[in-house]
Amino acid sequence: MTTTASAVRTGYSSTDDIVRNLSLVQDEIADTAAKIDEQQIADLARHLSQPGRVFVAGAGRSGLVLRMAAMRLMHLGLNVHIAGDTTTPAIASGDLLLLASGSGTTSGVVKSAETAAKAGARIAAFTTNPSSPLAGLADALVIIPAAQKTDHGSSVSRQYSGSLFEQVLFLATEALFQSLWDNTDVPAEELWLRHANLE
């Protein structure tokens, strides 16, 4: 066992530690979410409201957050596919590719955007970096002003790596779904009919 792992297993977190860090995470999320340009999310909502299929791609924890968003968009009735799944078809003109990368340089994510652009698809992206290759490819861009995961000395966040970006990404995609749903007359019971029943 490594020294770090040993220290974690023998360490003790008091209730004061937990309370302090719950407050830390909550405050950082609230502060960062408040700095997002709401018009950018509204522009993304407009792209999602257009005809065409929605494809979702991301790596690591950002990718997991987008998978959750994809599920909600499917519940809303959109035709959604996860890039890399064996049954995912080819993206084409008129489709939308939804991506997330804190740095905006994640190679697989940028490559997906380049492929989608060549196919004539629209691209929507979440990132911290407005001058990144991913941002340059996006038709709809949402900047989440969080620290990048390699910025370990950041004054933006005391949390580890890209945690703040991923947390606010989840919040932003939930607000996006809720806003899209608010502008329909579809009851929750109808959305529920699309909920997975092969769990």
For the chain, the first-to-last Cα distance in angstroms comes to 36
Coil/strand/helix, residue 165: helix
Nearest by Cα to 143 from 158, 132, 155, 159 = 132
In this structure, the dihedral spanned by the alpha carbons of residues 79, 103, 158 and 26, taken in order and rounded to 10 degrees, is -20
Which residue is catalytic, options 28, 38, 114, 166?
166
Asked about 166 being catalytic, the answer comes back as: yes
Report d(CA 98, CA 141) in Å as an integer: 10
Nearest by Cα to 133 from 157, 154, 103, 163 = 103
Question: Which long-range contacts does 137-141 make (Cβ < 8 Å, 24+ apart)?
Answer: 137/110, 137/113, 138/99, 138/113, 139/47, 140/40, 140/43, 140/44, 140/46, 140/47, 141/40
Nearest by Cα to 45 from 176, 138, 137 = 176
CA distances from 92 to 53, 64, 102, 193 (A): 9, 24, 26, 28
Residues acting as catalytic residues:
166
